[in-house]
């Protein structure tokens, strides 16, 4: 018996976690299949269902009345009243079937990392003969963070020289002398002791960064089966991290037959959507075409970070021009949508994990997305947050129509029939560089398929999810050609 991060005395467990992937195109009924599987198998399993939105959890709970969504709970130990307190309490119970969000799961893992500073281990209780199954809707790429070492550079050098830490052949940072912990090192020690921090060193620039996987492996080891429901799993960074850690996974069908090892994922094609998507072809696409004078491919995150203000302003103008002159939308062209309280989180991303659901509102019939901005460009951006130094591109007259490109698992915008996707999507180049050192780089085809998956996830928030036609503006030449090829397969 030993303490876990919940402060409970629990028996030691030796789990051999099995990972499964339900890889289906958006709209193929993954969530519906998961609900049926959980409804019919509660005698064999205890479930933890992890979704992106509270709205999604409420939908599952309406079908499975005995499943619990954590509510606010007071903790006398730390004098706080949070949902996290309730979730930790529910996880420590034997027979609960739980519904929680990605963000709540991450918060539990933050507590896990705190416990690792004291060399405590995470253990969830035995479920009285039942297996514990965790179903995670959408993948966990956002659990991977690049930490700019900055002022800690000399500290890390010193820790290496003093043999307090070492970097193995896989670039994994290991603590080899935990007793010699110096001030300002607790945070790094917690991450390293969890076995999920890698060092990324660039010899050309002589810079060093850390790659942190924010879900400790110890957490996964306490669950019998973990099922990821997503699209394009093998094109996502998370799949590579699983390979680095020798975590094998099996693809399954919508019937959740865990013993069917012969199942193959369907062909990567969007042919069924071809007749529903009207892609803009015209001179406004010139802003996304690459010429011989360009060093950076247009509309990538790197391009946005370095582009002059007039180039970025031009994108907003072209989106507005497409709306007003090509679509000929007027003030009367409104639709009914839900509206989220889109605020920027600590990572500089729109926090869609816990949207505030309000009454239906009347909105312009358009959603658009772009990456985030730089601090010195706030005069052409909107919703600037000084804490994160991030902002959202401002499109005159349509500032409320912005939607984060990371938005998933919501039908709030199912009435929208016009979509502008102004991003040329790639994996984070720093993470890609790290994967290269591990001989796990994404091929060009995998990079392209990842870009398509990301774009389709966004586009599918629109009326496309209800089988209706949409108009689409994709100024990036690369993204547009990839989409057309995907639709024609």
List, for residues 111-151, the tens digit of each pLDDT value.
Answer: 555 544 444 444 555 555 788 899 999 887 666 777 766 65
Burial (CB < 10 A; 0-12, 13-18, 19+), residue 51, is: buried
Q: Are 363 and 403 in a shared domain?
A: yes
Higher-pLDDT residue of 154 and 440 is 440
In a domain, 293, yes or no: yes
The enclosing domain of 136 has a CATH number of: 3.40.50
Tokens encoding 402: 């912005």
Binning pLDDT at 50, 70 and 90, where does residue 468 land?
very high
Res 199: pLDDT: 80
In a domain, residue 199? The reply is yes
Query: In angstroms, rounded to a whole number, what is the distance separating the alpha carbons of residues 68 and 2?
Result: 27
Q: What is the pLDDT of residue 327?
A: 95
Task: Report the pLDDT averaged over residues 76-81.
Answer: 55
- Same domain for 241 and 286, yes or no, is no
For 260-380, where are the E strands, in sequence order?
A: 277-279, 334-337, 361-364, 367-369
Cα 26–chain centre separation: 15
First to last CA, the chain: 57
Do 242 and 284 reside in the same domain of the chain? no
| 8: confidence class by pLDDT, cuts 50, 70, 90 | very low
Q: Which residue, 423, 407, 458, is CA-closest to 312?
A: 423
Number of domains in the chain: 3
Residue 257 in domain: no
Please determine, for residue 376, whether its predicted confidence score (pLDDT) is greater than 60. Answer: no
Residues 415 and 463 in one domain: yes
Whether 266 is in a domain gets the answer: no
CB 348 within 8 A of CB 372: yes
pLDDT number for residue 3: 29
Place of tokens 């912990």: 181
* pLDDT above 70 coverage of the chain, percent: 68
Q: Is residue 45 part of a domain?
A: yes
Confidence of residue 423 (pLDDT cuts 50, 70, 90): very high
Q: Residues with Cβ < 8 Å from 169, sequence gap 6 or more?
A: none
SS (H, E, C) 25-36: CCCCCHHHHHHH
Q: Give the residue among 397, 368, 393 at the shortest CA–CA distance from 383.
A: 393
* Burial status of residue 437 (CB atoms within 10 A of its CB: 0-12, 13-18, 19 or more): middle
Tokens of 117: 């500073």
pLDDT, position 484: 97
Mean pLDDT of 247-274: 86
Average pLDDT of every residue of the chain: 76
Q: Is the pLDDT of residue 268 over 50?
A: yes
Same-domain check for residues 209 and 132: no
Helices of type H across 18-145: 30-40, 54-63, 83-91, 102-117
* Chain centre distance of CA 199: 22
Distances (CA, A) of 381 to 57, 160, 316: 33, 43, 10
- Mean pLDDT over residues 76-96, rounded? 61
Q: Residue 145's Cα: distance from chain center in Å?
A: 11
Whether residue 411 is predicted with pLDDT greater than 60 in this model: the reply is yes
Residue 259 lies in a domain: no
Higher per-residue confidence, 211 vs 420: 420
pLDDT at 406 over 50: yes
Backbone angles phi, psi at 101, to 5 degrees: -100, 165
Instruction: Compute φ and ψ for 116, nearest 5 degrees.
Output: -70, -20
Say if residue 311 is in the same domain as residue 190. Answer: no
Structure tokens at 372: 């985030």
Q: Does 263 score more than 90 pLDDT?
A: no
**Mean pLDDT, rounded, for 468-486:** 97
> What is the distance, to the nearest Å, from the Cα of residue 348 to the centroid of all Cα atoms in its chain?
13
Same domain, 67 and 99: yes
- Whose structure tokens read 């491919």? 297
Question: Regarding predicted confidence, which is higher, 176 or 274?
Answer: 274
Same domain, 301 and 383: yes
Q: Is the pLDDT of residue 244 over 60?
A: yes
CA-to-CA distance for 176 and 190, rounded, in angstroms?
13
- Reply yes or no on whether the pLDDT at 410 is more than 60: yes
**317, pLDDT greater than 80:** yes
The tally of CA atoms less than 13 A away on the side-chain side of residue 201 is 12
Here the tokens at position 365 are 């019939």
Query: Which is nearest to 115 in space by CA: 9, 6, 1, 188?
Result: 6
Read off the pLDDT of residues 334-358 as tens digits, 9 standing for 90 and up. 887 765 433 333 333 333 333 333 3
Look at 40 and 125; give whichever has higher pLDDT: 40
Q: What is the pLDDT of residue 403?
A: 86
Residues 162 and 57 in one domain: no
Question: 98 near 86, Cβ under 8 Å?
Answer: no
Residue spans of beta strands (DSSP E) within 113-188: 131-137, 144-148, 165-167, 173-175
216/65: higher pLDDT: 65
Establish if 240 belongs to a structural domain: yes
- In this structure, the answer to whether residues 77 and 117 fall within a common structural domain is yes
Q: How confident is residue 68, by pLDDT bands cut at 50, 70 and 90?
A: confident
Whether residue 256 is contained in a domain is answered as no
Return the pLDDT at 349.
36
39 shares its domain with 133: yes
- The boundaries of the domain holding residue 459 are 271-488
> Which of 34-48, 94-108, 287-301, 382-396 comes out lowest in average pLDDT?
382-396
Decide: helix, strand or coil at residue 485: helix
Both tokens of 147, joined, read 């930490």
Whether 63 and 10 share a structural domain: yes
CA dihedral (341, 345, 350, 354) positive or negative: negative
As to burial, measured by CB atoms within 10 angstroms (0-12 exposed, 13-18 middle, 19+ buried), residue 391 is buried
């Amino acid at each position: 018996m030993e303490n876990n991060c919940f402060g409970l005395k629990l028996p030691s467990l030796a789990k051999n976690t099995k990972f499964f992937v339900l890889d289906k195109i958006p709209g193929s009924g993954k969530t519906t299949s998961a609900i049926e599987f959980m409804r019919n198998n509660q005698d064999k399993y205890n479930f933890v269902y992890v979704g992106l939105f509270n709205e999604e959890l409420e939908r599952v709970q309406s079908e499975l009345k005995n499943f619990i969504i954590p509510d606010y709970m007071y903790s006398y130990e730390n004098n706080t009243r949070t949902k996290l307190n309730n979730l930790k309490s529910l996880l420590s119970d034997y027979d609960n079937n739980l519904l929680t969000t990605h963000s709540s799961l991450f918060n539990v893992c933050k507590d896990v990392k705190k416990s690792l500073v004291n060399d405590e281990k995470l253990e969830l209780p035995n479920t009285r003969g039942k297996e514990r199954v965790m179903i995670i809707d959408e993948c966990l790429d956002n659990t991977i963070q690049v930490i700019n070492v900055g002022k800690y550079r000399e500290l890390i050098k010193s820790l290496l020289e003093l043999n307090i830490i070492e970097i193995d052949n896989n670039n994994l940072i290991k603590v080899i002398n935990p007793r010699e912990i110096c001030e300002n090192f607790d945070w790094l020690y917690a991450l390293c002791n969890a076995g999920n921090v890698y060092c990324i060193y660039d010899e050309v620039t002589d810079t060093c960064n850390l790659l942190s996987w924010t879900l400790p492996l110890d957490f996964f080891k306490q669950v019998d089966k973990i099922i990821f429901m997503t699209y394009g799993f093998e094109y996502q960074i998370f799949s590579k991290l699983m390979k680095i850690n020798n975590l094998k996974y099996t693809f399954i069908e919508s019937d959740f037959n865990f013993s069917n090892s012969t199942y193959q994922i369907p062909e990567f094609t969007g042919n069924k959507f071809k007749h529903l998507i009207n892609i803009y072809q015209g001179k406004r696409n010139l802003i996304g075409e690459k010429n011989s004078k360009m060093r950076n491919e247009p509309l990538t995150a790197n391009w946005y970070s370095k582009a002059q203000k007039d180039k970025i302003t031009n994108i907003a103008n072209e989106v507005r021009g497409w709306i007003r002159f090509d679509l000929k939308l007027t003030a009367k062209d409104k639709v009914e949508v839900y509206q989220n309280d889109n605020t920027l989180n600590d990572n500089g991303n729109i926090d869609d994990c816990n949207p505030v659901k309000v009454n239906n509102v009347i909105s312009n019939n358009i959603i658009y997305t772009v990456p985030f901005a730089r601090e010195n460009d706030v005069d052409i951006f909107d919703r600037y947050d000084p804490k994160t130094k991030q902002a959202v591109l401002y499109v005159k007259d349509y500032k409320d129509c912005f939607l984060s490109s990371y938005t998933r698992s919501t039908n709030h915008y199912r009435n929208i029939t016009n979509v502008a996707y102004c991003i040329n999507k790639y994996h984070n180049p720093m993470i890609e560089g790290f994967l290269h050192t591990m001989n796990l780089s994404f091929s060009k085809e995998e990079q392209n398929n990842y870009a398509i998956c990301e774009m389709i996830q966004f586009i599918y928030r629109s009326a496309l999810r209800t089988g209706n036609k949409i108009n689409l503006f994709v100024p990036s030449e690369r993204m547009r050609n990839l989409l057309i090829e995907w639709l024609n397969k």
